[in-house]
Amino acid sequence: MTERGWQDLIVGDRMAVDQEFAQRVTDSEFSRQEWGLVMTAVEFDIEDPADDERARIVADTSKVEQVMPEMENIQSQMGAMGGAGGGQQSGGGSGIFGSVKDALGLGGEGGDDGVDEERVEAADRLAQAYADELQQRLESQGKWAQVREAASE
């Protein structure tokens, strides 16, 4: 089976977990738009697919840092609109003045364009929680063995 083969088997399960996970996203520091962006950067792998005891779905979040600048753009846009996007956590330079300062390069702490490591770590944790929930669903639906087998081929 191809590299994506096992992932093709779980498309419907992913959609179900997306719906079930929506409240968890709402309760997080990420807006739905930001979470959608995070998920475009996350890849899921199965560690030790042939080992029934140790096999597990893991979220590969190594590319999340690459989407952080766009997440900052989303925050700025939502700040300019008055924070109109649930799950948004307000920070030091919020609102229209914060957005203008950021656009001019005057905002932010330390003045560098560094990645907010706390948000990256939060995205990593939430993505792994999603992976855990996905695996639990596959197990409860009786699909986990089939998915592991497809992943080990």
Q: What's the pLDDT at 92?
A: 43
- Mean pLDDT, residues 15-26: 96
Q: Which residues contact 48 (CB under 8 A, 6 or more apart)?
A: 54, 55, 56
Q: What's the pLDDT at 98?
A: 52
**Residue 52 gets which letter from DSSP?**
T
Phi and psi torsions of 8, nearest 5°: -65, -30
CB 109 within 8 A of CB 92: yes
Kindly report the average pLDDT of the chain as a whole number.
84
Q: What's the pLDDT at 115?
A: 78
Angstrom distance (rounded) from CA 24 to CA 30 = 10
Angstrom distance (rounded) from CA 37 to CA 4 = 21
Looking at the predicted structure, is the pLDDT value of residue 59 above 80?
yes
Looking at the predicted structure, is the pLDDT value of residue 114 above 70?
no
Q: What's the pLDDT at 16?
A: 97
- Mean pLDDT, residues 133-142: 98
| Beta strand pairing call for 56-60 and 43-47 | antiparallel
Amino acid at 99: S
58 forms beta bridges with 45
User: Model pTM?
Assistant: 0.75
Q: Which residues contact 129 (CB under 8 A, 6 or more apart)?
A: 24
Please give the torsion angle defined by the CA atoms of residues 39, 42, 48 and 49, in that order, rounded to the nearest 10 degrees.
50
